[in-house]
Amino acid sequence: MDEDLAHFSIDQARKLGASYAEARLESTTANSLVMKNGAIEASSFDHFGGIGIRFIVNKKLGFVSTNELSKNKIITILEKAIRITKATKTMGENISLSKERTEKARYEVKQKKKLADIGVEDKISLLQKAEKAIQSTKVKVPSRYVVLSDTDTKEYFTNSDGSRIFAHVPKMNFYYFLTINANNKTTQRYWVYGASGGWEQVEKWNIPKIFSEEVTSMNNILRKGIKTPQGIMPIVCGPQVSGIMAHESCGHPFEADRILGREAAQAGESYVQLAMKGKKMASSIVSIADDPTIANSYGYFLYDNEGVKAKRKLLIKDGKVNEFLQNRETAFQLKTKSNGSSRASDFEKEPIIRMSNTFMLPGDYKEEELFEGIKKGIYMKNFMEWNIDDKRLNQKYTGAEAYLIENGEISTPVISPILEVSSLKMYPAVDAMGNNLELHAGDCGKGEPMQGIPVTLGGPSIRLQGLRIK
């Protein structure tokens, strides 16, 4: 990686009139293996990289990128990009960045078993074991679509403030989509696993076990599931559900750029207002964190893509709005400091405010203790269909694996229970928090062009009271 090219780009941007410039050099190797219905469909290996340069000229913000790493190309694209950015002089918003510490760092995620040493044969063998695990359950699974992929990214960031950061982060991802058939009915389930680190992380997931448990549970739901009783009743949600809640109705609406309207034409704005800071919005046992520094997590980083040191943020603390996700642009506008939440999915994209690992903090209860005292309720272990409106208020989670809770215990499986609820009603309804914190992987979309970015979403099992199940 020619780090001098990044320095050259900044010097060049400065020469062309930029008051601030930053450059991000990226080099990524990527592998993926697709298996469909037991047959290996295709494998792919790739190497890509390039440079993304962001600058402020006459107080206006611009960005340019190329995958041709030559000085001549950088000069040409910068000249053109700076010309159009300067042309926004009467229409452009004046942009300033918050003053942050200059950082110099090099960091790397260690791999106990290096991804580079894992051959495609090993990956095929793992997926075939998973296939056998499904077969051994005797459950009918007519469609099985799985993708096992990994990336090894080296990134060098530098800016005109003097920050210089090198990061080397390998990540891996496992996606599956299964169709289970019984009694002439089907049910479907998809999920994602992701981590940073080496192949040892993939081994920890135990993919064959994930598959045999998943298809056995879903087969049971199909065969024995009853229609979900409707009405107001206690609901216990498993970690995958509390995780998606934390992501959708806390993480996104707490992004300061959404609050300020910067994503209005894309992912939308937010129900959260700046004036809500310090106000109570959830029951006091609810705290939600966003923390990129968790070792081996899928959303891991130690410095963000503006060179700011990453840290744990508490978005909701003891039920109160505590902190928003900030980058240097929103931090300047809101007269605060960035909390290191700026990320770009790759060198071709501008860094924008993103989540990392967002999760509800666990409480003291064992999961089974959450069922105690419930005469009749619903346990939604995981979900399939979900969505939320563009202000992040009106959300819906439809259970995949779900059960009745009767007299304090899990009983009959139920088909597709629906929780359709406003964020402002949902968070105050949480009355007990489990201690079984899990972090699950996801690819979160935002921005234009769309930037899909690795995150985790998580939480413990939680109990909610007074909400309607449909």
Partner 1 sequence: MKHEEITQFLLEELKRKGADDVILQLGSGETTLIKFVNNKISTTKTWESTNLSIFATKNQKIVTSSLRTFDKETAKKSAENIIRSLARMQPNKNFKGIAQGPFKYTKEQDCYDPKVEALNEEMVDMVKQAIDTAKKKAKRSSGTLEKTSAESYLLTSNNVEAHERGTGLYFAIRTLIDKNSSGYGSCISRMKNKIKIQEATEHATHIAQLSKGPKIAMSGSFDVIFAPHAIAAIVDRFADNASIFSVESGLSCLKNQLGKKIANPLVTIYDDPTRANGYGSTPYDAEGTPTQKTSIVEKGVFKNYLHNASTARRYKVKSTGNAGLISPRAFSPVLKEGKYNKEELFRQVKKGIYITNVWYTRFQNHETGDFSTIPRDGAFYIENGKIKKPLKDIRISENILKILKNISALGKETTQIKSWEVDTPTTVPYTLIKNINITKPN
Single out the residue of 378, 401, 409, 407 nearest to residue 224, CA to CA: 401
Can residue 407 be called a binding residue for partner 1 (CB under 8 A)? no
**Closest distance of CB 104 from partner 1, Å:** 27
Can residue 261 be called a binding residue for partner 1 (CB under 8 A)? yes
Q: What angle in degrees, to the nearest 10, is found between the helix axes of 207-224 and 120-137?
A: 30
One of 394, 408, 410, 465 touching partner 1 (CB under 8 A): 394
3 state SS for 21-51? EEEEEEEEEEEEEEEECCEEEEEEEEEEEEE
One of 2, 15, 87, 101 touching partner 1 (CB under 8 A): 87
**217-246 positions binding partner 1, by CB under 8 A:** none
**16-45 positions binding partner 1, by CB under 8 A:** 34, 36-37, 39-45
Based on CB atoms, which residue is closest to partner 1, 77 or 437? 77
Taking CB under 8 A as the binding criterion, the range among 282-290, 369-377, 384-392, 455-463 that sits at the site for partner 1 is 384-392
Let me know: does 242 contact 382? Beta carbons within 8 Å: no
DSSP 8-state symbol, 310: P
**Closest distance of CB 302 from partner 1, Å:** 26
Taking CB under 8 A as the binding criterion, the range among 17-25, 274-282, 337-345, 393-401 that sits at the site for partner 1 is 393-401
Can residue 79 be called a binding residue for partner 1 (CB under 8 A)? no
Can residue 50 be called a binding residue for partner 1 (CB under 8 A)? yes
Let me know: does 82 contact 62? Beta carbons within 8 Å: yes
Based on CB atoms, which residue is closest to partner 1, 247 or 317? 247
Can residue 95 be called a binding residue for partner 1 (CB under 8 A)? yes
| Distance of alpha carbon 352 from alpha carbon 403, whole angstroms | 40
Based on CB atoms, which residue is closest to partner 1, 112 or 376? 376
Based on CB atoms, which residue is closest to partner 1, 134 or 418? 418
Based on CB atoms, which residue is closest to partner 1, 29 or 322? 29
Specify which residues 397 forms β-bridges with.
386, 419
- Helix (H) or strand (E) segment spanning residue 191: strand 185-196
**319-358 positions binding partner 1, by CB under 8 A:** 348-350
Taking CB under 8 A as the binding criterion, the range among 64-72, 148-156, 297-305, 406-414 that sits at the site for partner 1 is 64-72
**Closest distance of CB 274 from partner 1, Å:** 13
φ and ψ of 8, to 5 deg:
-60, -45
| Distance of alpha carbon 467 from alpha carbon 327, whole angstroms | 36
CA dihedral 191, 401, 139, 144 (to 10 degrees): -20
Which tokens hold the place of 288?
A: 């939600």
**Closest distance of CB 211 from partner 1, Å:** 15
How many chain residues bind partner 1 (CB under 8 A)?
86
Let me know: does 274 contact 334? Beta carbons within 8 Å: yes
Let me know: does 146 contact 176? Beta carbons within 8 Å: yes
**Closest distance of CB 62 from partner 1, Å:** 5
Is residue 273 packed enough to be buried (19+ CB in 10 Å), middle (13-18) or exposed (0-12)? exposed
| Distance of alpha carbon 14 from alpha carbon 30, whole angstroms | 34
Strand, helix or coil for residue 132: helix
Let me know: does 30 contact 70? Beta carbons within 8 Å: no
Can residue 448 be called a binding residue for partner 1 (CB under 8 A)? yes
**181-220 positions binding partner 1, by CB under 8 A:** 186-188
One of 65, 153, 201, 356 touching partner 1 (CB under 8 A): 65
**Closest distance of CB 325 from partner 1, Å:** 17
One of 60, 313, 317, 440 touching partner 1 (CB under 8 A): 60
Can residue 120 be called a binding residue for partner 1 (CB under 8 A)? yes
Single out the residue of 382, 376, 358, 367 nearest to residue 432, CA to CA: 367
DSSP secondary structure letters along 443-455? EEEETTTTEEEEE
**282-311 positions binding partner 1, by CB under 8 A:** none
**Closest distance of CB 61 from partner 1, Å:** 4
| Distance of alpha carbon 382 from alpha carbon 379, whole angstroms | 9
One of 5, 8, 19, 48 touching partner 1 (CB under 8 A): 48
Angle at 321 between CA 318 and CA 341, to 5 degrees: 110
**Closest distance of CB 139 from partner 1, Å:** 14
Let me know: does 12 contact 74? Beta carbons within 8 Å: yes
One of 420, 431, 436, 443 touching partner 1 (CB under 8 A): 420
Based on CB atoms, which residue is closest to partner 1, 95 or 105? 95
**Closest distance of CB 453 from partner 1, Å:** 16
Let me know: does 25 contact 2? Beta carbons within 8 Å: yes
Is residue 182 packed enough to be buried (19+ CB in 10 Å), middle (13-18) or exposed (0-12)? middle
Can residue 58 be called a binding residue for partner 1 (CB under 8 A)? no
One of 19, 88, 137, 436 touching partner 1 (CB under 8 A): 88
Taking CB under 8 A as the binding criterion, the range among 155-163, 237-245, 267-275, 406-414 that sits at the site for partner 1 is 267-275
Can residue 431 be called a binding residue for partner 1 (CB under 8 A)? no
